[in-house]
């Protein structure tokens, strides 16, 4: 055996003369191969002015003194190139690339790479979910001479790209695009329920505060609390009103109210929202604590189906093409079977905000602009025998000249003369003297025997309607 197995270092033979030559050769090879560092691996021809001891990995298609040495280590030793054939497992440092390579037996391949690397842990253990894990008092992302951006990219709009803030590895707050491309701010309370605090629409930059009373309700009597007609619940024929401002749709409706919960068993209910308050734009129709099934929400003829769930659930509708002066019909109908819900709200913006009730007296006045009743006595004077005319005032100015309806038979009483029963059939004239004063005339049925006799109308309710 004349050389070592792995590095092919020459061995001194027994009784060899000039043993120092063999020894020096072996030392030179050790110096060349131990902690192997080459200057370059991209040259296929020797450099013109190498320094003694320079080493290179020979590139493909070599020429000159390197001919036939592709992949080998070329070592410039005592003004001559020596070719060293690598063995499997040799490691070389490529100085001009700051890269470590390993000879596989066929090729030089990177010993290890951090671009890409599948996992990285800094004082922590990374895993398949958290491929980068850092346990530190802080993390610094510094500029490289100008600005700096931290990017979080997701595959599709339905995915999540967010910053999640935790305490004890339990989520407490989240900021980002979760489930769509709008910017959302969410928090989780002690009840482990996530609630959205802020949503910013990516298309309009309009902000919504779902948990904060914010948007004005364009609907009137959204909680069905005002009930001037005394609707007891049950079936409503098409066009008939139940609670104030809400009437049955074309197919009628079956509606019941229990506390603040409305149950719509069949048909549809609708409200006409008066126009003229400014340009129409995107609105959101929503209900609270929808249960029993999905509900069909229709705004200006467009319908969307909303699935049941706790909290406020709704859908957005674009009304930008609706003329500002036009009224807007809003309807609710069960998609299948009875549905229960609370607090209907229509507001500007693409997202629902929290329910914000108006004072009950203010809500009543808004309702009375469209419908109100006069239950007290109306002073009457006879313009002629068997006739009676009276004047009355309405507490709220109505949106237009109303139509009067008597709830039942009434009595005209004239002291010293007598009394008589009248119905709507006896009503011959009605007019508004101004925005709130009305005059009403009965052409027959009055107990009056002569003009000028006075009395009052009582025993029935006069209802005035100026509904849209």
pTM of the shown model: 0.69
Where a domain ends, among 70, 87, 110? 110
Residues 12, 23 contacting (CB under 8 angstroms): yes
Q: Which pLDDT value is given to residue 408?
A: 81
Which single residue is written with the structure tokens 């928090």?
187
Q: Which pLDDT value is given to residue 459?
A: 86
Tokens of 165: 């803030």
Where a domain ends, among 79, 110, 141? 110
311 class by beta-carbon count within 10 Å (0-12 exposed, 13-18 middle, 19+ buried): middle
Hey, which residues does 296 pair with through a beta bridge?
305, 333
424 DSSP 8-state letter: G
Tokens of 17: 């003369």
Rg of the chain over Cα atoms, rounded to whole angstroms, equals: 45
Q: Are residues 255 and 348 in the same domain?
A: yes
Q: Are residues 332 and 238 in the same domain?
A: yes
Q: Are residues 348 and 377 in the same domain?
A: no
Q: Are residues 346 and 404 in the same domain?
A: no
Nearest to 268 by CA among 280, 251, 281: 251
Give the total number of structural domains in the chain.
Answer: 3
Q: Are residues 415 and 341 in the same domain?
A: no
Where the chain has pLDDT below 50, the residues are: none
Residues 466, 427 contacting (CB under 8 angstroms): no
CA–CA gap between residue 296 and residue 307 (Å, rounded): 9
Where a domain ends, among 317, 352, 387? 352
Q: Which pLDDT value is given to residue 173?
A: 98
The domain of 423 spans: 371-465
189 within some domain: no
Which single residue is written with the structure tokens 């119905």?
423
Angle at 330 between CA 464 and CA 315, to 5 degrees: 150
Q: Are residues 338 and 422 in the same domain?
A: no
Q: What is the CATH number of the domain that holds 338?
A: 2.60.120.260
DSSP letters, 160-182, are: EEEEEEEETTEEEEEEEEESSSS
166 within some domain: no
């Amino acid at each position: 055996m004349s050389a070592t197995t792995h590095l092919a270092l020459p061995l001194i033979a027994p009784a060899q003369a000039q043993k120092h030559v063999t020894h020096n050769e072996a030392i030179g090879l050790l110096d060349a191969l131990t902690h192997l560092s080459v200057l370059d691996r991209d040259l296929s021809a020797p450099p013109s002015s190498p320094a003694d001891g320079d080493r290179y990995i020979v590139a493909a298609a070599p020429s000159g003194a390197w001919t036939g040495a592709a992949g080998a280590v070329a070592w410039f030793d005592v003004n001559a190139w020596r070719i060293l054939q690598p063995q499997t497992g040799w490691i070389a440092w490529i100085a001009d690339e700051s890269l470590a390579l390993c000879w596989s037996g066929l090729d030089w391949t990177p010993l290890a790479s951090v671009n890409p690397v599948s996992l990285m842990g800094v004082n922590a253990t990374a895993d398949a979910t958290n491929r980068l894990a850092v346990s530190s008092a802080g993390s610094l992302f510094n500029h490289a001479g100008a600005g700096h951006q931290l990017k979080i990219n997701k595959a599709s709009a339905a995915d999540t790209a967010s910053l999640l803030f935790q305490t004890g590895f339990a989520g407490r707050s989240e900021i980002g695009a979760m489930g769509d491309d709008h910017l959302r701010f969410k928090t989780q309370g002690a009840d482990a329920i996530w609630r959205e605090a802020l949503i910013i629409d990516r298309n309009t930059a309009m902000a919504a505060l779902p948990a904060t009373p914010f948007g004005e309700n364009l609907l009137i009597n959204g909680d069905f609390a005002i009930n001037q007609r005394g609707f007891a619940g049950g079936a409503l024929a098409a066009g008939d009103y139940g609670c104030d401002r809400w009437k049955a749709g074309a197919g009628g409706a079956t509606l019941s109210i229990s506390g603040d919960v409305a149950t719509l068993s069949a048909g549809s209910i609708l409200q006409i929202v008066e126009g003229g308050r400014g340009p129409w734009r995107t609105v959101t129709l929503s209900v609270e604590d929808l249960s029993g099934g999905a509900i069909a929400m229709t705004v200006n003829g467009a319908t969307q189906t909303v699935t049941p769930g706790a909290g406020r659930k709704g859908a957005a509708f674009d009304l930008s093409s609706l003329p500002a002066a036009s009224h807007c019909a809003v309807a609710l109908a069960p998609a299948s079977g009875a549905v229960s819900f609370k607090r209907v709200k229509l507001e500007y913006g693409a997202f629902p905000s929290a329910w914000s009730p108006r004072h009950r007296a203010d809500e009543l006045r808004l309702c009375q602009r469209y419908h109100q009743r006069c239950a007290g006595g109306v002073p009457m004077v006879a313009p002629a025998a068997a006739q009676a005319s009276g004047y009355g005032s309405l507490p709220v100015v109505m949106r237009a000249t109303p139509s009067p309806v008597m709830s039942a038979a009434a009595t005209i009483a004239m002291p010293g003369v007598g009394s008589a029963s009248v119905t709507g059939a006896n009503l011959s004239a009605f007019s508004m003297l101004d925005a709130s004063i009305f005059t009403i005339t009965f052409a027959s049925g009055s107990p009056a025997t002569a003009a000028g006799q006075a009395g009052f109308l009582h025993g029935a309710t006069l209802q005035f309607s100026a509904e849209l």
